[in-house]
Amino acid sequence: MVTWDAASLGPWASVVDGTDAVVHLAGENLASGLWTKARKGRILHSRVEPTQVLVRAMQESERPPRVLLQASGISYYGPHEPDEEVTEDDGPGDDFLARVATSWEDASAEADAIPVRRVLLRSAVVLARSGGALPRIALPFRFGLGAVFGDGSQPFSWIHITDEVDAILFLLNDESARGAYNLVAPMAVDNRTFADLLARALHRPRFLRIPGFVLRLALGELADTVLTGQKAAPKRLIESGFRFRFPTLESALTQIYGRGGRGAG
């Protein structure tokens, strides 16, 4: 096992030398607390600084990796209207998370000159039985307290953990894959539909709605992550021939929770 401080070169860098590929997914949890000025700084630096150090390790390698797969997010595009679909052809937004994603992607740009085949993984919310966002989202639903946020029309893009991993492996092995790819299921939903389908999967009622102003009073700027969104499409993945195992939210939640709704998470 090799560890590093994510801020400086060290003995760990020798592992990069001669490695075939690097998959870089590090970054502080966006929902780990209120977005104070200090926390926003940690969110940004936990993504940018380790990426820059990792690229330096590649630059100093005698045999640098052939490919770098780097995490990013569909937050790159910024908030969009519910009926406005975004693809990899669209430019970045200008809110906090969009600026974070842009800086994160820019931090690895020098890898192109090594040269390393660089792939940017713009992931949506990854749905899994344990870990990630879904267990925290599902907890109030299990107690019959599931709710729609705001008016519920904001887009909710997502991807099942199996498809996330499959897409990463697909892009790792596709020698023609370069640049940004949206790792999202092909059928986005809105917040109301997500809440209703999650409640149904857990066999619980869903009758609450939390107004936007209440969320903003409680969460501050963090509330924008659930009150806004983007309907992202996996255009480049589909064009490359990737096939989703769980293209619909119903199929994803059924796999995660089972038809009885008793799955952990």
Q: What's the CATH number where 123 sits? A: 3.40.50.720
In a domain, 3, yes or no: no
In a domain, 1, yes or no: no
SS3 annotation, the chain: CCCCCCCCCCCCHHHHCCCCEEEECCCCCCCCCCCCHHHHHHHHHHHHHHHHHHHHHHHCCCCCCCEEEEEEEHHHHCCCCCCCEECCCCCCCCCHHHHHHHHHHHCCHHHHHCCCEEEEEEECEEECCCCCCHHHHHHHHHCCCCEEECCCCCEECEEEHHHHHHHHHHHHHCCCCCEEEEECCCCCEEHHHHHHHHHHHCCCCCCEEECHHHHHHHHHHHHHHHHCCCEECCHHHHHCCCCCCCCCHHHHHHHHHCCCCCCCC
> Along the 265 residues of the chain, how does pLDDT read in single tens digits?
788 888 888 888 889 999 999 999 988 888 778 889 999 999 999 999 999 999 999 999 999 999 999 999 999 999 999 999 999 999 999 999 999 999 999 999 999 999 999 999 999 999 999 888 899 999 999 999 999 999 999 999 999 999 999 999 999 999 999 999 999 999 999 999 999 999 999 999 998 999 999 999 988 988 998 999 999 999 999 999 999 999 999 999 999 998 655 554 4
At 26 the pLDDT is: 85
Q: What is the pLDDT of residues 214-241, one digit of tens each?
A: 999 988 988 998 999 999 999 999 999 9
Residues spanned by the domain of 235: 13-257
In a domain, 247, yes or no: yes
Q: Which residues contact 80 (CB under 8 A, 6 or more apart)?
A: 86, 155, 229, 230, 231
In a domain, 48, yes or no: yes
At 33 the pLDDT is: 80
The predicted model scores a pTM of: 0.93
At 252 the pLDDT is: 97
In a domain, 161, yes or no: yes
In a domain, 264, yes or no: no
At 4 the pLDDT is: 80
Provide the domain count of the chain: 1
At 259 the pLDDT is: 67
At 264 the pLDDT is: 42
In a domain, 167, yes or no: yes
In a domain, 246, yes or no: yes
